[in-house]
Structure 1
Amino acid sequence: MKGYPALLIVMLFLIACGQSNKKLPILGEREPTTKEIDGKMVTDTIYQTIPPFSFINQDSVIINNKDFDNSIYVADFFFTSCPSICPIMSKNLLKVLNKYKGNKEVKILSHSIDTKYDTPWVLKKYATKLGVNGDQWQFVHGSQESIYGIADKYMVYAKENSSAPGGFEHQGWLILIDKDKRIRGAYDGTNDEQVSQLMDDMDILLKEYH
């Protein structure tokens, strides 16, 4: 019995080490490639990444993929007049913003799929109503081709549909992107437990860079 406390300490230490070494999977398409390193042929993997983009944000400023360099970020697809899941998603993203507010390594990127109505002025009004200011959370507007095209790269389904609530149908995924523009997780933005998991995974991902 005397050895139990010491054994417990060792077990807790091993568990903590296991958690600290935990890494998130890399999602999306992957392609093996072979290259020569120090005279030896080595097989490596090229992972799917988010391609370069350029949109106009809620302040009528052009932002692009370079604005997210050296940051992990959470991306989603929504529209301001959405009568169903978008308000819940935005509320949960506020939790993410509040946890990481002021952290320059963390950003949020919300793409409007209503490319006709959601102009920068409308997006600014929406952001202000949420209490969002500064540049840590970007709400962006673009052409239908560019927005729907980038949604595919995030593995998110979005489509204009007159029979759907609000005229659009889309998935409520919150997509976690690392500093190398790779997809590291997808979470249901309407589910509190999955949003909590997202934030836990963001902590794990940030540790990979420190």
Structure 2
Amino acid sequence: MKKQNYSYIGITFVLLVFGIIFIPKIISRIQGDQIVDMDRHNLEHAAQKDLDLATIGPAPEFQLTNQRGELLSSASLNGQIYVVEFFFTTCPSVCPIMTQNLLKVQSAFADEPGLSLISITINPTFDTPEVLSDYAKKYGITHPNWHLLTGEQDKIYAIANKGFNLYVGPGAAIDGGFEHSGFFALVDDQGMIRSRFDQYGNPIIYYDGLEAHQVSKLINDISVLLKEKS
């Protein structure tokens, strides 16, 4: 019995020594990781009003018709900062989310004449100016520079796929019959596509129109470009 008691005492002593030596180091490492995570979180969500934006390249030229039946060209947007998306009015999933997120941009810059929002349909056969006008009313699109554009399908697909390198196309297996990216493109007043850099120093190129935190970054970066312009 005494030998067994000595064994328990010995094990207890070893555990106690282990705890004294190693537990503080483990706690220190955990705290260090927490500090790193907190720093990353702060960098991700900090207000970055004056950050530098990457210049990706020139936005493609276009001339299309808006929801009021007016011709709008990329040339007429010279001197304007604008955001471009591709959508279609009968889209059951992605587009309503993108529209709701662009409404946040509309709200943030309701009185800003130097900003335009450009929504280009990828189903122009159905999305006539009248249909686009109804869509605008349905979602509360009121900014005078928010243009919902339609035109010839082959030209629109070229603008998206070749000009912006944002895929659009028919998709029989997709709800709504068309597929497209959920990204927003930001274009400055010189007609250049702009974006912020990621944490590794690479340009993100486009902003995810489905993610609220990306839309917040877009709003911030529009402010940066407006400041550059002024």
Q: TM-score, normalised on structure 2?
A: 0.72
What residue number does 2:213 align with? 193
User: Quick one: distance in 1 between partners of 2:148 and 2:50?
Assistant: 34
User: Quick one: distance in 1 between partners of 2:229 and 2:189?
Assistant: 9
**In the TM superposition, what are the counterparts of 1:48-197 in structure 2 within 5 Å?**
48-133=57-142, 135-152=144-161, 153-185=163-195, 186-197=206-217
User: Quick one: distance in 2 between partners of 1:94 and 1:133?
Assistant: 9
Indicate conservation of the 8 Å contact 1:159/1:170, yes or no.
yes
Unaligned runs of 5+ in 2: 1-47, 196-205
The structure with the larger Rg is 2
User: Quick one: distance in 2 between partners of 1:188 and 1:134?
Assistant: 22
User: Quick one: distance in 2 between partners of 1:85 and 1:62?
Assistant: 27
User: Aligned-pair RMSD on alpha carbons?
Assistant: 1.4
What residue number does 1:208 align with? 228
Q: Which has the higher helix share?
A: 2
User: CA offset at residue 130 of structure 1?
Assistant: 1.1
User: CA offset at residue 23 of structure 1?
Assistant: 1.8
Task: Indicate how the Cα distance of structure 1 residues 98 and 146 shifts in structure 2: closer, same or farther if over 3 A, else same.
Answer: same
Unaligned runs of 5+ in 1: 1-18, 28-47
User: Quick one: distance in 2 between partners of 1:204 and 1:90?
Assistant: 22
Indicate conservation of the 8 Å contact 1:23/1:208, yes or no.
no
Moved over 6 A (4+): none
Letter in 1 for 2:134: K
User: CA offset at residue 102 of structure 1?
Assistant: 2.2
Q: Which has the higher strand share?
A: 1
What residue number does 1:6 align with? none
User: CA offset at residue 22 of structure 1?
Assistant: 2.9
